Amino acid sequence: MFFRWDWLRPHLTAPIVPTLGPVHPDALTVGIFEDVLRAADTGDFLPYDKDRRWGGEKDERVLREDVVHQPGRTLVPTLMRRGRGTVKVFAYGLHDSVIEEAAELAAKLASVHDVACARVVRPLGPQAVHPRGTRIQLKDFAAAPCPASDGRVCPVTTWSAAVQKTFAPFAEAMAGDGLAFLHTQMQAGRCGPVLAAAVEDRIVGAIGPMEIQPDAIGRPQLMPQYFAVLPEARGQGLGRALWRAAMRWGQAHGAAYQLLQTEVGGPSDRLCQVEGLTSLGLSYTLRV
């Protein structure tokens, strides 16, 4: 075993695991970190990796030989070759000096591996205040029944053929939010249902795919979705209607929870706070 849990656990202020992203606090064990190291040797997806559902090969892997693991800090570098390439160093430690050390390591490894980008990923606890970054939100389906949506949302395939045809231009307009990619997966029949909101016989918002997979300890997790509403259709409560419909679907299909990542201070962040989700912490990324 490479990692000592008594060294690592005190510094896990937020449940973020390199190459996997956020995980449920109950699944945050030394075993999951060991799994990530083993996957670095094989290049395979872990069975509970959320990216596994898209197929292909795992693009991000831990640079195992460059991990720094000591009582006061743990630095875990990863390498991605997509695009011009990126090195990230996940910096676990309670002292600010860990950021400087991680930045130095990221810059060094970016040069060694000839990639363009070097980053430091810094987890922070739930009570941390930071003007930017990503908040990790937990939706616990055992906490309370999910309210029904207001009738403006249903699976894309339930809408009339004429309305379904409007999904393609909607997806193209929201390509920056991943909807164009989602549309290709839908056309290929490689993903679960997608929920859509329509106004005047035109799709203006969507969330999906709706899929449930077991996590590292076997609990059914509602997987992250792509989620977008056309700018001209915002302000009508469609975002909340889509999100509530997705949560109701997850609860009805046996999911135990969902983890969401929201931009601090953004619309989705505010929606999750209003809906009563639990903040598990923050992470922010520094350019080196």
Three-state secondary structure string covering the chain: CCCCHHHHHHHCCCCEECCCEECCHHHCCHHHHHHHHHHHHHCCCCCCCHHHHHCCCCCEEECHHHCEEECCEEEEEEEECCCCCEEEEEEECCCCHHHHHHHHHHHHHHHHCCCCEEEEEEEECCCCCCCCCEEEEEEECCCCCCCCCCCCEEEHHHCCHHHHCCHHHHHHHCHHHCHHHHHHHHHCCCCCCCEEEEECCEEEEEEECCCEEECCCCCEEECCCEEEECHHHCCCCHHHHHHHHHHHHHHHCCCCEEEEEEECCCHHHHHHHHCCCEEEEEEEEEEC
Tokens of 100: 């400087």
Give the confidence band of 194 by pLDDT, cuts at 50, 70, 90: very high
Per-residue pLDDT for 130 more than 80? no
Cα(2)–Cα(45) distance, integer angstroms: 20
- The answer to which of 35-39, 152-156, 265-269, 278-282 has the lowest mean pLDDT is 265-269
Tokens of 170: 């909607």
- The answer to which of 1-5, 175-179, 204-208 has the lowest mean pLDDT is 1-5
Closest CA to 286 of 124, 72, 58, 67: 124
**pLDDT (tens digit, 9 = 90+) per residue, 60-97?**
999 999 999 999 999 999 999 989 999 999 999 988 89
Whole-number mean pLDDT of the chain? 94
What does the pLDDT average to over 266-283? 91
What residue spans in the chain does CATH classification 3.40.630.30 cover?
A: 143-255
**pLDDT (tens digit, 9 = 90+) per residue, 21-57?**
999 999 999 999 999 999 998 888 999 999 898 878 8
Quick one: pLDDT at residue 55? 79
Quick one: pLDDT at residue 217? 96
What does the pLDDT average to over 94-116? 95
Quick one: pLDDT at residue 44? 87
Q: Is the domain defined by 143-255 classed in CATH 3.40.630.30? A: yes
Quick one: pLDDT at residue 171? 98
Quick one: pLDDT at residue 11? 94
Share of the chain above pLDDT 90, in %: 83
What does the pLDDT average to over 166-187? 97
Tokens of 246: 């997705």
**pLDDT (tens digit, 9 = 90+) per residue, 210-265?**
999 999 999 999 999 999 999 999 999 999 999 999 999 999 999 999 999 999 98
For 32, 109, 279, the CA distances from 90, given in Å and listed in that order, are: 15, 13, 20
Quick one: pLDDT at residue 94? 87
Per-residue pLDDT for 204 more than 90? yes
What does the pLDDT average to over 131-138? 90
Give the confidence band of 206 by pLDDT, cuts at 50, 70, 90: very high
Tokens of 47: 């069975």
